[in-house]
Chain A
Amino acid sequence: MAVSSRGVARVVPLAPAVVLLALFMLGPVIWSFYGSFTNTALTGPTALNPEWIGFDNYVALIGDPDFPKSLWLTVVFVFLSAVVGQNVMGIALAGLLRSAVKPVRSIASTVVVAAWVLPEIVAAFAAYAFFHSEGTLNTLLGGIGITGPDWLYSTPMLAVILANIWRGTAFSMMVYSAALAEVPPELTEAAQLDGANGLQRLAWVTLPVIRRSISTNLMLTTLQTLSVFTLIYVMTGGGPGTDSSTLPILAYQEAFKFAQVGYGTAIATVMIIVGGIFSVIYIRALRPEVD
Chain B
Amino acid sequence: MTDTMTRPAAPARSGLGTLAAPRGTATKVAANVVLLVIALCFVLPMAWVVVASFDAQATLSFGLPDAVTTANFAAIMTPELTWLPLWNAFVLSAGSGAITVVVAVLAAYPLSRYRMRFGKYFLYSVLFGTCLPITAIMVPVYALFVQLNLLDSLPGTIFFMAATSLPMAIWMTKNFMDSVPISLEEAAWTEGASAMQALRRVVLPLMRPGIAVVFIFVFVQAWGNFFVPFVLLLSPEKQPAAVSIFAFFGQYGSVAYGQLAAYSLLYAAPVLGLYVLVTRISGSAFALAGAVKG
Contacts and interface: CB of A to CB of B under 8 A. Distances in A.
Interface of A: 1, 9-11, 13-14, 16-17, 20-21, 23-25, 27-29, 31-32, 35, 40, 47-48, 93, 96-102, 104-115, 117-122, 125-127, 129-130, 132, 134-136, 138-139, 166, 170-171, 174-175, 177-178, 180-182, 185, 189, 192, 198, 213, 216-217, 219-220, 223, 226-230, 234, 247-248, 251-252, 255-256, 261, 264-265, 267-268, 271-272, 275-276, 278-280, 282-283, 286, 289-291
Given A174-B290, A279-B132, 20 more contacts: A10-B110, A14-B111, A14-B122, A16-B107, A20-B166, A24-B141, A97-B5, A101-B28, A102-B3, A106-B1, A108-B38, A130-B48, A189-B16, A234-B249, A248-B136, A252-B138, A252-B139, A261-B139, A261-B142, A265-B143
Contacts of B27: 99, 198
A122 B48 contact: no
Interface in B188-238: 195-196, 220, 223-227, 231
Most chain B C-beta atoms within 10 Å of own C-beta, residue among A122, A227, A228: A122
Contact of B104 (A17, A27, A122, A175): A17
Contacts of A229: 135, 226-227
Given A106-B3, A282-B131, A24 B160 contact: yes
A24 B164 contact: yes
B21 interface: no
B59 interface: yes
Given A14-B107, A28-B137, A114-B272, A139 B38 contact: no
Nearest to A106: B2
B139 A265 contact: yes
Contacts of B139: 32, 251-252, 255, 261, 264-265, 267-268
Contacts of B143: 31, 35, 40, 261, 265
B19 interface: yes
B271 A117 contact: yes
B133 A283 contact: no
| Top 3 A-B pairs, shortest CB-CB distance | A227-B133, A119-B224, A24-B163
Contact of A98 (B6, B52, B170): B6
Contacts of B242: 119-121
Interface of B: 1-3, 5-9, 12-13, 15-16, 19-20, 27-28, 31-32, 34-36, 38-39, 41-46, 48-49, 52, 59-63, 102-104, 106-107, 109-111, 114, 116-117, 120, 122-129, 131-144, 146-147, 159-160, 162-164, 166-167, 170, 195-196, 220, 223-227, 231, 242, 245-246, 249, 257, 260-261, 264, 267-268, 271-272, 275, 285-286, 289-290, 292-294
Contacts of A223: 131, 133
A57 B44 CA distance: 44
B61 A136 contact: yes
A291 B32 contact: no
11 contacts: A1-B117, A10-B114, A21-B166, A32-B140, A40-B143, A104-B32, A118-B271, A121-B226, A121-B242, A219-B131, A268-B136
Given A31-B144, A234-B246, A118 B128 contact: no
B96 to A, nearest CB: 11
B166 A48 contact: no
Given A130-B44, A136-B44, A11 B289 contact: no
A117 B275 contact: yes
A290 B127 contact: yes
Given A20-B163, A23-B163, A122-B264, A105 B6 contact: yes
Main SS at interface, chain B: helix
Contacts of A175: 289, 293
Nearest to A130: B45
A177 B48 contact: no
A155 to B, nearest CB: 17
B137 A112 contact: no
Contacts of A104: 32, 35-36, 39
A178 B131 contact: no
B230 to A, nearest CB: 8
A112 B271 contact: no
Contact of B2 (A27, A109, A182, A219): A109
A89 to B, nearest CB: 8
Contact of B289 (A138, A171, A279): A171
Contacts of A97: 5-6, 35
A275 B62 CA distance: 38
Nearest to A260: B139
A115 B28 CA distance: 25
B9 A226 contact: no
A274 to B, nearest CB: 8
Contacts of A280: 128
Contacts of B285: 109, 113, 174
A271 B268 contact: no
A17 B170 contact: yes
Nearest to B162: A20
A267 B38 CA distance: 37
Given A13-B106, A248-B135, A177 B264 contact: no
Contacts of A114: 42-43, 46, 272
A289 B38 CA distance: 35
Most chain A C-beta atoms within 10 Å of own C-beta, residue among B27, B142, B224, B225: B142
